[in-house]
Amino acid sequence: MTHFKNYIGGTWQSGAEELPNINPSDTSDVVGQIAMGDGAALEAAVAAAKAAAPGWAHSTPQQRFDILDAVGSEILARKAELGALLSREEGKTLPEGIGEVGRAGQLFKFFAGETLRISGDVLASVRPGISVEVTREPLGVVGLITPWNFPMAIPAWKIAPALAYGNAVVFKPSEVAPGCAWALADMLDRAGLPAGVFNMVIGKGSSVGEAMVHHPDIAGISFTGSIATGKRIAAGCVARQARVQLEMGGKNPMIVLDDADLTTAVNCSANGAFFSTGQRCTASSRLIVTEGIHDRFVRALEENMKALKVDHALKEGTQIGPVIDERQLQKNLFYLGVAREEGAVVRGGEILKRDSDGYFMAPALFTETRNDMRINREEIFGPTASVIRVKNYEEALAVANDTEFGLSSGICTTSLKYARHFQRHAQAGMVMVNLPTAGVDYHVPFGGRKGSSYGTREQGKYAAEFYTIVKTAYVAG
Ligand code: NAD
């Protein structure tokens, strides 16, 4: 049995208590025992990071490059094995799990390269005989808090830039799926990172997470998770003037216009709504369809949806894995009830029996819905999508933007005019044309607007905005 321990000051440590990490495809399968950290573990991790921070801040780019590059290489070399661990603990299909691990490897490689490109500005002063230099310095100790739904990629896209720009790290993965985080910590340890530069405390948000937010020695928190948690974290950080970056939920629109290629529109919608069991912040949960194509689109999407194979995440041919746990399954079923009460037509959504005892649910499609229904306002985070019928592009755009969220948005059309107009007027951080709302590159910024995000962007060279602080130096002579 693997013990997913905490990693503090370069040593592996047991938790105050142990909890089982359960496979959502087969609840009799215990992936490992989770060492649940507490306030004392967090204190020790922050102290270790604080002690190690100055040394790491002044390490050479080459030192940082070598370590991040080595971790990236190991992740890529072990893609199949780590992908299986990810699918076993989180429930996305094996190809999706391997894909996510590959992404994590590429992220480490990308930020290894960024260590060599940290730059600043040299300007002439407005005063004679003075030069002005603008440089970037690490923040110091940063706190990273991540969710369960991308247990490898999200930790990677926070840890790699944090280290690349010279910060010491205290990392709290989700206690729901911490096996991949543990594997990452193991690789960082063996890659030769000095003790204390990277620390991991697995634990509950209400104890370890809260303590991180309020800790005076943590200079900034980068958080990905739900809106409710994000708002709490922002309030705590702002109160003590700590830097904060939040990536949260979505209610992402996918517009389908009359002139869309039907196959493209159905594939983008099915992928965006149901793949990864709909447990993606970028999932297409509102399908906004103009009336000329509406009935054909619904018929084709329903056919596509019914053919999707829902089963054990590690079984060959599975297209949709299980829901993460009983709580999320009950939440999905609750929203199916809400959809019926609100007058939507509900297709699919049945609880499924498979060979193993897991949280299997058929994808669900809600039709005849309005944008003001709860199912179209609140994030469900399951394999569900609503269809909203609209008259034309103008109404589609207005409905797409009528939401408190603004992470990703998509349009399926063969019209350049509408595609370009949507690109400019969608109130979202990311726009997809004839592509699913989910699925992004690793070298460009990721993030949203309105209620979905707060603070600077993650990934690509834009990550430097969060993980560094600017200094302006004036030198005479
Ligand atoms: P969550 O908010 O419940 O938990 C996220 C993390 O915050 C966990 O590590 C948790 O332990 C911790 N936490 C909980 N309470 C805390 C507190 N009071 N103080 C500090 N930390 C606390 O979210 P989840 O259920 O793990 O993840 C699903 C959510 O994440 C969805 O809303 C989804 O949209 C969002 N998400 C967003 C993105 C994005 O980039 N926008 C990506 C993936 C997931």
- pLDDT(477) > 90: no
- DSSP codes joined into one string, 227-279: HHHHHHHHHHHHHTT-EEEEE----EEEEE-TTS-HHHHHHHHHHHHHGGGG-
Identify the residue whose C-alpha is closest to ligand 1 atom 20.
209
Question: Using an 8 Å Cβ cutoff, are 407 and 252 in contact?
Answer: yes
Question: Using an 8 Å Cβ cutoff, are 108 and 445 in contact?
Answer: no
371 sits in the region (left: phi over 0; alpha: psi -120 to 50; else beta) called alpha
Closest atom of ligand 1 relative to the 250 alpha carbon: 34
Mean pLDDT (the chain) is 98
The topology (CATH level 3) of 3-248+442-476 is Aldehyde Dehydrogenase; Chain A, domain 1 (3.40.605)
Using most ligand atoms within 8 A of CB, pick from 146, 180, 281, 323 the residue to mutate for ligand 1.
Answer: 281
State how far the alpha carbon of 377 is from the alpha carbons of 250, 371, 401, in Å.
Answer: 10, 7, 12
State pLDDT tens for residues 208-220.
999 999 999 999 9
Q: How confident is residue 401, by pLDDT bands cut at 50, 70 and 90? A: very high
State how far the alpha carbon of 116 is from the alpha carbons of 60, 400, 458, 461, in Å.
Answer: 9, 41, 19, 12
**Cα–Cα distance, 192 to 63 (Å, whole number):** 10
Question: Using an 8 Å Cβ cutoff, are 43 and 8 in contact?
Answer: no
**Cα–Cα distance, 248 to 228 (Å, whole number):** 9
State pLDDT tens for residues 349-387.
999 999 999 999 999 999 999 999 999 999 999 999 999
The topology (CATH level 3) of 252-433 is Aldehyde Dehydrogenase; Chain A, domain 2 (3.40.309)
State pLDDT tens for residues 223-240.
999 999 999 999 999 999
Domain ranges across the chain? 3-248+442-476, 252-433
- Name the residues annotated as catalytic: 247, 281
* CA 229 to centroid of ligand 1, rounded, Å: 6
What are residue 144's DSSP bridge partners? 171, 222
**Cα–Cα distance, 271 to 373 (Å, whole number):** 23
State pLDDT tens for residues 48-71.
999 999 999 999 999 999 999 999
Is 252-433 the same fold as 3-248+442-476? Answer: no
pLDDT of residue 1: 85
Pocket of ligand 1 (CB under 6 A): 145-150, 172, 174-175, 205-206, 209-210, 213, 224-226, 229, 232-233, 247-250, 281, 379, 381, 407, 452
Identify the residue whose C-alpha is closest to ligand 1 atom 13.
205
pTM of the predicted structure, to 2 decimals: 0.98
